[in-house]
Structure 1
Amino acid sequence: MISLKASSNWLVSVALIATLLINLLVQLLHAGPRIRAEAGSNLRLTREFVLKSIANIPETDNPVPPLQSLFANLGDLRHVEIKILGAKDPTPGHWSQLNHDRYHDLPEWFVKVAGAAPRVILIPLVRGTHDYGRVAIVSNPLDELEEIWSDMTWLASISVVATLMILIVVIFLIRFALSPFNALQAGLAELEAGRSGVKIPVRGASEFRNISNALNSLAATLDRVKNENKRLVSELIEVQDNERKEIGRDLHDEAGPCLFSIRAAVTALQDSVSQGVLDRDRVAHLSSIIDRSSTTLQLLFRGLLDRLRPKGLTELGLEPALRSLFATWELSHPEVALRLALPHDLSSLDKNTAFTAYRIVQEGVTNIFRHANADWGQVKLNFALGDVGAKETDADQDSEPRLEICIEDNGAGISDKPKMGMGLLGMRERVYALGGMFEVTKRSAGGTLVRALIPLVEDDEEE
């Protein structure tokens, strides 16, 4: 594939050569009319001169000697030749029959292309009944053609030299003008190699400057995303470790004593059986210990499973799972008046969207309990159009439908530039993973508003 530099050089070369050829062609086309016009004028003047010369010779004299002397004194005329032909001499049909040796450098093809054919005018020399011959006036276009050919040769030589000089200058200027391409190519290679801190020098024409600024902005964005991904991975590992520690602590603090109680009760029963003495009250007491410990373990494992995977979300759907979650919160946090608004049927949501919505609601309401210091909170899930930050009345009717999740409270609110903790970061990353949008703002009436928009997935897209 031809490079841009080579294409530009070829384009300029073709343009210069075409200009040179057009100039030569114009001169060539104008040569014929120019020669014919001048030859006609010379023929008319020469004819008048010859006629007046013949008229000035006395009738009794032979006109041939004085005319030959006159024409010899005139010498070589430009563009016209005068010859006295005898009565028996043939009429010349072409100038070459008279004289053409001095025009041997003139190309024959140029003469043919110019199309300046010679013209012959014959003036008879008659005195009474005596015929002295004829005076032949022949137009000679080769003088003018020779001048035109010389001009064209000179112009072509000068034009070739000028074209070569201009081409050299243009090649240098094109090379200099396209030199930022090398820096752009090197910068793109570094970006492709995954290097950080790529900085492309901003120079050259405005287009190159705009491209360089855009690539520098892209490199900065990639570095920022790369650093953020590293930080998120580190925080994710930390969250996983903390969650494992918390699960291990729950198992150690709650499951350990229950298992110890069950084992102690079983050992006591085995001792009673081995001794052959079965106390009815003691067996009932040990059975009660085993039952309570089993119930505690069951509740503990159920809670852990709910943390790992929402109970009933896959089997029942998002709405029953959320209502069950809110019922649990109403018992465990009666100090906060929670309200769940579900104006639409959510059973058509795909499993990824439903799971993400459940986790966002779970984390958002948990933040209300932990940080908001609020006594009222509301969660609303509905279908909407438009982007985050747009009012409902401004939503474009042709935009794609989305699931809108709004979590708000009347608590202490957030700062103007909130620092996202792991909870909000996790919510944002879950939304971004599905191609949605996420924002955290202050409520006009006080408190915090968490708003997320998740694109709805069609059935064929999900498949």
Structure 2
Amino acid sequence: MSSEPLRSSSSERSPPPSTVWRDLTWVVALTVLAAALGAAFDLSEKLYRFTRGLERFQLDELPGTLFVLSVALAWFGWRRYRDARREARHRRTLEEQAERLLADNRRLASEALQAQELERRHMARELHDELGQYLNAISLDAARIRDLSNGREPEIHRISLGVLHSASHVYREIGGMIRRLRPIGLDEFGLPSALEHCVDGWRERLPNASFAVTIEGDFSGLSDVLTITLYRLVQEGLTNVSKYARNARVELFMVRAPRAVQRSDEEATAHDAANSTPIDEIVVTMADDGPGTDLSEPRKGLGLIGMRERVEALGGEFHVASEPQRGFLFCARVPAQAGLTEPVN
């Protein structure tokens, strides 16, 4: 969930003191002007002569009634102003609480993602180091039994071949599990190479689809949770292509660039003076020309929900666009500094 609405609504607060005093000055000035005009033109006397002839209609009581009405309206306006101030303070307090809860939720979600990826990395390492080692030993022993039994013990030879086949099958399955737990090459070669390897794998699985990959910018120095989040986004997007758009043209675009932030001149000057380092963001876009979908209808899978939660947990934005027979597109924008250790205030 994005925090932009909260920030925009919290900025709509009570007017600054300068505006209040300016309005009060106008009220006093208009009152003094009305008194001066009334004195200059003898307004009360003229009004008295006008209403005296209408005494049978009790219109001579009109000035007093209007005075009471004006005082009552002033009291009513003051009460409404006081209630509005109280409501604004209450709303501001709730918005601040919501912002704190949203920040805590994002922090907890980010920590949960980090813990999940650490556990996946540990599990992948254990599968590779422990099970892989024992499977290699089993394969070597079975190969030795096969060689010793060749031509002399047909039954033992047949069983050894079965053991070799089973060990090879389990080793391939474990390799697939390791790749799902921890992308190949991500730690060794970096994010762009890992994504190229991932797309190459899908090129083999989907020969009728075409893939265009464009990666621009420097992706070094990113946090581990951000790196794996970007990879999982692309991975989930390609999985959706395999499910719904197997014959489509797929375009993947990833770029790291300075974030475009709209500021006033004073805010921009203050920001430049406080920090000369530009704020970068990473934009990931994947589009295909497949059958598309109606986003107003509920979806059975949790892929898009998981993608959105991953992105928003890092303080980013996630958008989806699609129409039936018009293809599918998602765009994620994530701060490049997301997930890095921040100093505690």
2:285 matched residue in structure 1: 406
Among 180, 185, 192, the alignment partner of 1:319 is 192
Contact (CA 8 Å) 1:313, 1:320: kept in 2 or not?
Answer: yes
Contact (CA 8 Å) 1:383, 1:402: kept in 2 or not?
Answer: yes
For residues 135-188 of structure 1, give each alpha carbon's deviation from its aligned partner in whole angstroms, at most 9, with x where no partner exists.
xxxxxxxxxxxxxxxxxxxxxxxxxxxxxxxxxxxxxx9xx97xxxxxxxxxxx
1:458 CA drift (Å): 9.1
Rg larger for = 1
Provide the secondary structure at the position in 1 that maps to 2:216: coil
**Partner letter of residue 219 of structure 2?**
L
Among 407, 411, 424, the alignment partner of 2:304 is 424
* C-alpha distance 416-370 of structure 1, shift in aligned 2 (>3 A): closer
1:354 CA drift (Å): 1.2
1:403 CA drift (Å): 1.0
1:384 CA drift (Å): 2.8
* C-alpha distance 450-203 of structure 1, shift in aligned 2 (>3 A): same
Cα distance in 2 for partners of 1:424, 1:215 equals 33
For residues 52-82 of structure 1, give each alpha carbon's deviation from its aligned partner in whole angstroms, at most 9, with x where no partner exists.
xxxxxxxxxxxxxxxxxxxxxxxxxxxxxxx
2:35 matched residue in structure 1: none
1:432 CA drift (Å): 1.6
Cα distance in 2 for partners of 1:432, 1:387 equals 18
**What runs of 5+ residues in structure 1 fail to find an aligned partner?**
1-172, 178-201, 241-254, 391-395
1:451 matched residue in structure 2: 331
1:333 matched residue in structure 2: 206
Among 440, 447, 454, the alignment partner of 2:320 is 440
2:87 matched residue in structure 1: 209
Are 2:245 and 1:367 aligned?
no
Question: Kindly, what percent of the aligned residue pairs are identical?
Answer: 27
Provide the secondary structure at the position in 1 that maps to 2:337: coil
Provide the secondary structure at the position in 2 that maps to 1:435: coil
Give the paired residue count: 224
Contact (CA 8 Å) 2:292, 2:325: kept in 1 or not?
Answer: no
Provide the secondary structure at the position in 1 that maps to 2:226: helix
CA root-mean-square deviation: 4.8
Cα distance in 1 for partners of 2:194, 2:321 equals 27
Contact (CA 8 Å) 1:431, 1:438: kept in 2 or not?
Answer: yes
* C-alpha distance 415-311 of structure 1, shift in aligned 2 (>3 A): same
Provide the secondary structure at the position in 2 that maps to 1:357: helix
* C-alpha distance 320-285 of structure 1, shift in aligned 2 (>3 A): farther
Cα distance in 2 for partners of 1:216, 1:347 equals 39
1:356 CA drift (Å): 0.9
Contact (CA 8 Å) 1:412, 1:447: kept in 2 or not?
Answer: yes
* C-alpha distance 462-340 of structure 1, shift in aligned 2 (>3 A): farther
Contact (CA 8 Å) 1:403, 1:456: kept in 2 or not?
Answer: yes
* C-alpha distance 446-385 of structure 1, shift in aligned 2 (>3 A): farther
Provide the secondary structure at the position in 1 that maps to 2:177: helix
* C-alpha distance 448-387 of structure 1, shift in aligned 2 (>3 A): farther
* C-alpha distance 459-206 of structure 1, shift in aligned 2 (>3 A): closer
Provide the secondary structure at the position in 1 that maps to 2:217: coil
**Partner letter of residue 183 of structure 2?**
P
Provide the secondary structure at the position in 2 that maps to 1:335: coil
Contact (CA 8 Å) 1:401, 1:455: kept in 2 or not?
Answer: yes
Contact (CA 8 Å) 1:203, 1:209: kept in 2 or not?
Answer: no
Provide the secondary structure at the position in 2 that maps to 1:342: strand
**What runs of 5+ residues in structure 2 fail to find an aligned partner?**
1-74, 117-130, 263-267, 273-277
Cα distance in 2 for partners of 1:282, 1:462 equals 65
1:445 CA drift (Å): 9.6
Q: Which has the higher contact order (CA 8 A, sep 6+)?
A: 2
Cα distance in 2 for partners of 1:283, 1:458 equals 58
1:307 CA drift (Å): 1.4
1:405 CA drift (Å): 0.6
1:404 CA drift (Å): 0.9
Scaled by the length of structure 1, what TM-score is found? 0.39
* C-alpha distance 218-419 of structure 1, shift in aligned 2 (>3 A): farther
2:294 matched residue in structure 1: 415
Provide the secondary structure at the position in 2 that maps to 1:209: helix
2:70 matched residue in structure 1: none
Cα distance in 2 for partners of 1:458, 1:426 equals 18
2:167 matched residue in structure 1: 294
**Partner letter of residue 210 of structure 1?**
A
For residues 222-263 of structure 1, give each alpha carbon's deviation from its aligned partner in whole angstroms, at most 9, with x where no partner exists.
9x97xx99xx9xxx9xxx9xxxxxxxxxxxxxx9xxx9xx89
Provide the secondary structure at the position in 1 that maps to 2:320: strand
Contact (CA 8 Å) 1:414, 1:441: kept in 2 or not?
Answer: no
* C-alpha distance 459-437 of structure 1, shift in aligned 2 (>3 A): closer
1:336 CA drift (Å): 1.7
Cα distance in 1 for partners of 2:294, 2:220 equals 37
* C-alpha distance 213-462 of structure 1, shift in aligned 2 (>3 A): closer
Among 379, 401, 404, the alignment partner of 2:252 is 379
Contact (CA 8 Å) 2:219, 2:256: kept in 1 or not?
Answer: no
For residues 76-122 of structure 1, give each alpha carbon's deviation from its aligned partner in whole angstroms, at most 9, with x where no partner exists.
xxxxxxxxxxxxxxxxxxxxxxxxxxxxxxxxxxxxxxxxxxxxxxx
1:426 CA drift (Å): 1.2
* C-alpha distance 445-413 of structure 1, shift in aligned 2 (>3 A): closer
1:459 CA drift (Å): 11
1:361 CA drift (Å): 0.5
**Partner letter of residue 294 of structure 2?**
S
Cα distance in 2 for partners of 1:302, 1:346 equals 27
1:196 matched residue in structure 2: none
**Partner letter of residue 309 of structure 2?**
E
